[in-house]
Amino acid sequence: MTGSVTVRVPAKVNVQLAVGGRRPDGFHDLANVFLAVGLHDKVTASPADHQDDRGGAGGPRLTVSGPDADHVPLDDGNLAVRAARLLAERHGRDPGVRLHIAKDIPVAGGMAGGSADAAGALLACDTLWGTRTPYPELLALCAELGSDVPFSLAGGAALGRGRGELLEPLETGGTFHWVFATADGGLSTPDVYRTCDRLREAAGGGATVESVPDPEPSLALLDALRRGDAAALAGELANDLQPAAVALRPALNATLEAGLAAGALAALVSGSGPTCAFLVKDAEAGTRTAQALRASGTCRTARPASGPVRGAEVV
Ligand code: ATP
């Protein structure tokens, strides 16, 4: 066993999030085009220095640092803790480990921060414990932990089908530049899906798999990604959850407008929100747009980041 292992893991933005009808199990089928972007959490796993009543190592113990640390659960509600337990159970070993998350991804921001930490904890514990889980099995464990977790492990760009967990890697022809405007307070992903169903029902279309068309990826969007063409991608960005996120947080309209007024090529809510994502022409436009958004008073802060970037990796 080594001293400690740190894994760096990226946030994601959904460049397309097509949401199908509510399935009988309550989930929605998705066509989810993910792009990993350069905002990262770091997850460190170190040998346990604690024991439970029976002399075992007493399960994972978690600490979190960073500006949003107060909003992150430290118990089994934390996806990183669940990831460590799941890996230990799969290998029939003691789950004792110290985990530390240096959190930079906005919490409950629609950028898959919890999923990133789960993927990071899996890889960090697998390396620390020497359990050498084959990559396809790691991906399967990720899918057990949550729909977005496999993508956090894989990174790059990918199409997620099913609940988003069935991944198909996508080719990208270059780097895309973004600005992410974070909001005060998060939005609950289940609340946003419920609101999406409610809005669809109110519009008279129904909200079940029978009444909503199957979600399909946009071929023009996949082509823009493949060609690295930001202007073409700007015309194709789409998020079926955006009306629900905006209904729950109407102030997001002002944030989206401020980014467009600052010259962004396109604006959309990231996943279930409330973070807003702005596609910009280049790194310089990113710096300028972020400054303008911070000055607009319509967000907590705004940060440039580009993608695709690599998935979870030991540093
Ligand atoms: P997604 O984009 O996958 O829907 P999100 O980015 O909107 O997720 P998260 O940051 O993953 O949201 O947090 C959602 C909730 O999950 C939080 O409010 C928190 O209670 C819980 N949670 C569990 N584990 C973590 C974690 N490691 N970091 C942050 N939140 C976590």
Q: How many Å apart are CA 305 and CA 96, to the nearest integer?
A: 35
CATH classification for the domain delimited by 5-171, as one of 3.40.50.300, 3.40.50.2300, 3.40.50.720, 3.30.230.10: 3.30.230.10
- For the ranges 5-9, 56-60, 88-92, which has the lowest average pLDDT? 56-60
Q: What is the DSSP letter of 23?
A: P
pLDDT of residue 58: 79
Q: How many Å apart are CA 112 and CA 64, to the nearest integer?
A: 16
Q: How many Å apart are CA 113 and CA 41, to the nearest integer?
A: 8
Domain 176-307 belongs to what topology?
A: Alpha-Beta Plaits (3.30.70)
Q: What angle do CA 12, 13, 16 make, to 5 degrees?
A: 135
**Does 141 score more than 80 pLDDT?**
yes
Q: Are 255 and 299 in contact (CB under 8 A)?
A: yes
Give backbone dihedrals phi and psi of 8, rounded to 5 degrees, phi first.
Answer: -100, 135
Choose the catalytic residue: 41, 68, 126, 148.
148
Q: How many Å apart are CA 259 and CA 279, to the nearest integer?
A: 9
Question: Could you confirm whether 148 is annotated as catalytic?
Answer: yes
Q: What is the ipTM of this complex?
A: 0.93
**Does 29 score more than 70 pLDDT?**
yes
Cβ burial of 124 (10 Å; 0-12, 13-18, 19+) is: buried
pLDDT band (50, 70, 90) for residue 163: confident
Q: What is the pLDDT of residues 68-123, one digit of tens each?
A: 999 999 999 999 999 999 999 999 999 999 999 999 999 989 999 999 999 999 99
**Best probe residue, ligand 1, of 9, 99, 107 (max atoms within 8 Å of C-beta):** 107
Q: Are 17 and 240 in contact (CB under 8 A)?
A: yes
210: CA distance to ligand 1 center in Å?
30
188: CA distance to ligand 1 center in Å?
9
146: CA distance to ligand 1 center in Å?
11
**Does 73 sit in the ligand 1 pocket, CB within 6 Å?**
yes
| Nearest residue to 308 (alpha-carbon basis) of 242, 233, 256 | 233
CA nearest ligand 1 atom 13, residue: 108
| Nearest residue to 127 (alpha-carbon basis) of 268, 6, 284, 298 | 6
pLDDT of residue 108: 86
pLDDT over 70 percentage in the chain: 97
- Mean pLDDT over 37-57 rounds to 83
- Mean pLDDT over 185-201 rounds to 95
**Does 174 sit in the ligand 1 pocket, CB within 6 Å?**
no
Q: What is the pLDDT of residues 297-311, one digit of tens each?
A: 999 999 999 999 999
pLDDT band (50, 70, 90) for residue 57: low
pLDDT over 90 percentage in the chain: 90
Question: Could you confirm whether 12 is annotated as catalytic?
Answer: yes
Q: What is the pLDDT of residues 226-258, one digit of tens each?
A: 999 999 999 999 999 999 999 999 999 999 999
- Which structure tokens are listed for 133? 């889980």
**Does 39 score more than 80 pLDDT?**
yes
pLDDT of residue 144: 97
CA dist list (Å): 157 to 20, 82, 228, 278: 21, 26, 12, 17
Mean pLDDT across the chain, nearest whole number? Answer: 95
Domain boundaries, the chain: 5-171, 176-307
Predicted TM-score (pTM) of this structure: 0.94
